[in-house]
Structure 1
Amino acid sequence: MNAPFQILLIDDDSRNIFALTAVLKSRGFACLTTTVATEGLHLLESQPAIGIVLLDMMMPEMDGYETLSRIRSGTRSDIPVIAVTAQAMAGDREKCIQAGANAYISKPIHVDELFTLLHRYLP
């Protein structure tokens, strides 16, 4: 794809980052990754090429809901954010959307669903 944008992956599990990055790179997407939410916020503010965020909602220290709140109140408040979570209980999708996510995808991630969402929200 060789797009002029990058995907920011914020997930506290490096195995998830490894697997997801491999899939994304195989389709030509460029990725930035971090296992720490505060670093993800810094990357988002300092890297204008980031076009979308894939955000794990269940992280230690600062969870995805707090991270999402900070994204929405920052200078990149309009960036598309896809909430990624292992929680697949009734109401979780709505909770993520109400918190400010553009979309929601549950783990394990279905690759075709992910690419459909990426193509919907990327420029």
Structure 2
Amino acid sequence: MKNEKEILIIDDDSKNIFALSAVLKAKKFQCISALSANQGLKMLSSNKNVGVVLMDMMMPEMDGYEAIGKMKSDKELKNIPVIAITAQAMTGDREKCMEAGADGYISKPVNVDELLLLLNQLID
């Protein structure tokens, strides 16, 4: 069943995590979260049940672009799909996220139907 894998939400804003978690839990997804890219990468290394990562692209210290790069260069993590989530919904942003290694792209405010469609495509 698709929903056995966990979704890791990496976002430096706890309100965004709360909103995404609430919507996804209502749709029977299991969610865990991290408030920084470093924390998220540590969680990925220790938790083998993450099926997809929702990655905020604009975070202090390490942004989503750098975090995706680290994931995609790690043999243990490179096959975990990443959906880039960003408020920077300007021309070229989708392409920039995809070039960084993201498997999908959603702009804020998040369209829940679009997110669910992407999740169902990416979670095996």
TM norm structure 1: 0.97
Which residue number corresponds to residue 85 of structure 1? 86
Alpha-carbon spacing, 1:2–1:103, altered in 2? closer, same or farther (3 Å):
closer
- Report how far residue 3 of structure 1 moved: 2.3
Hey, what's the Cα distance between the residues in 2 that align with 1:98 and 1:19? 27
> Aligned AA for 2:53?
V
The residue type paired with residue 32 of structure 1 is I
After superposition, residues 1-123 of structure 1 pair within 5 angstroms as 3-74=3-74, 75-123=76-124
Distance in 2 (CA, whole Å) between partners of 1:76 and 1:65 is 15
Contact kept in structure 2, 1:65 and 1:99, CA below 8 Å: yes
Query: What is the CA-CA distance between 1:20 and the residue it aligns to?
Result: 0.5
Q: Alpha-carbon deviations, 1:35-72, whole Å to 9, x = none?
A: 11111001111111100000000000000011001110
Size of the alignment, in residue pairs?
A: 123
**1:58-98 Cα deviation digits (max 9, x unpaired):** 00000001100111011211110000000110000000000
Q: Which amino acid is the alignment partner of residue 33 of structure 1?
A: S
Identity over aligned pairs, percent: 56
Rounded to whole Å, the distance in 2 between the matches of 1:47 and 1:79 is 12
1:67 aligned counterpart, secondary structure? helix
- Give the letter for the 2:82 counterpart: V
Measure, in 2, the Cα distance between the counterparts of 1:3 and 1:89.
32
Mind listing any 5+ residue stretches in structure 2 that lack a counterpart? none
